[in-house]
Amino acid sequence: MTTGAVATVRGQRSTADLGRTLMHEHVFAVSAALANDRPELAFPDGRAAAIDAAVARLRQVKDAGIDTIVDVTVFGHDRDIPSLVEINERVDLNIVVATGFYTEDLPSKTFEIRQGLARARGGNFYVDVFVADIVDGIGSTGVHAGIIKCVTGPDGVTRGSKGLLRASAIAARETGVPITTHSDPHTRGGLEQLELFAAEGVDLTRVIIGHSGDTTDTDYLKAVMDTGATIASDRFGYDLPGAASTEERVAVIADLCGQGYADRIVVSHDAMLHTDWLDADYVAQHPNWTPTFIPTEVVPTLREAGVSEADLNQILVTTPARLLAAVTKEHRERT
């Protein structure tokens, strides 16, 4: 039913070779404006040092038993694919990149204006860009996006975010790649996202509702998964106020696995290995916010909580491979 392949920074890979996968990370997020105009803020120790540090940390991730990460840095989140290519040349890890736009409402003025021009001519600029990233590749890098990222926040589906979610749905239907979201589980935002996707004809088994692990409301989480969608407990180690603790996240996953939902759960950290969004003082407040935390600390704790090896393999290997395999055009036309 699927191609069995996914686009990565280093080209097409069989999903059988993805191994243990983290589904929501950020390797390199640097704004072009700061990199060009205030490089001391974008790269406090210099760009070469930032590249070296990212490579070193990704090697630690590989050594900890992770084979693939999904980098969901997109437009509006300061995606930098050339730097990611440079990094991936030095570390033996599969990196799947995303297209989409990171905003809880309106995108950048550039995107908004271009969308207005396209709509006046009967087109959709957002869809065109997302599809081009997937089909044609990103810039001159030769790297193709393998997943689409979209966002809603505490205010839910706003006028601006609705257009981007619809564009994500259309692009997903046209290309067969999955959708992953940023959502607010405290306002049950995943259900609103799924309602829109369903109305747009998206196969909900190809949707990941991000940041679901921030809540312990298992009734909400089961309602999301009962649609066929997957939840992501993807902020392990990032201890935000009001969000579930590591212990609570583990307990929720163990509970859901015990109820038969292991095939609709993925995990990650939402870690940012190098970014000009944050400074060193902020990062120091979150010592566990690193993409080695799950393989070294969380997986053993999940075992102690009663999660079986079969369910751990499902969460870390089988479900990510299923989600990332692009659905063939032939299958899309039959369904």
DSSP string of 120-164? HTT--HHHHHHHHHHHT-STTS-----EEEEE-BTTBS-HHHHHH
Residue 1: the pLDDT is 35
Residue ranges with strand state E in the chain: 5-8, 11-14, 21-29, 68-71, 94-100, 147-151, 179-182, 207-209, 230-233, 265-267, 272-275
Contact 102, 149 (CB under 8 A): yes
Report how far residue 271's alpha carbon sits from residue 281's, in angstroms, rounded to the nearest whole number: 15
At 150-189, the pLDDT tens digits run 999 999 999 999 999 999 999 999 999 999 999 999 999 9
Distance of alpha carbon 295 from the chain centroid:
18
Residue 327: the pLDDT is 84
Report how far residue 212's alpha carbon sits from residue 220's, in angstroms, rounded to the nearest whole number: 9
Contact 49, 28 (CB under 8 A): no
At 35-94, the pLDDT tens digits run 999 999 999 999 999 999 999 999 999 999 999 999 999 999 999 999 999 999 999 999
Supply 204's token pair. 């909900």
* Amino acid in the structure at residue 198: A
φ, ψ dihedrals at 230, nearest 5°: -105, 140
At 78-108, the pLDDT tens digits run 999 999 999 999 999 999 999 999 999 999 9
Residue 320: the pLDDT is 98
Q: Which domains does the chain have, with CATH numbers?
A: 5-334 (3.20.20.140)
Supply 252's token pair. 């929720």
Supply 124's token pair. 């959709």
Residue 27's nearest CA partner among 318, 309, 293, 273 is 273
Give rounded-to-5 percent helix, strand, coil for the chain.
Answer: 50, 15, 35
- Has this prediction a pTM greater than 0.75? yes
β-strands 230-233, 265-267 pairing: parallel
Bridge partners (DSSP) listed for residue 21: 68
- Residue 334's contacts (CB-CB under 8 Å, 6 or more residues apart) are none
Mean pLDDT, the chain, rounded, equals 96
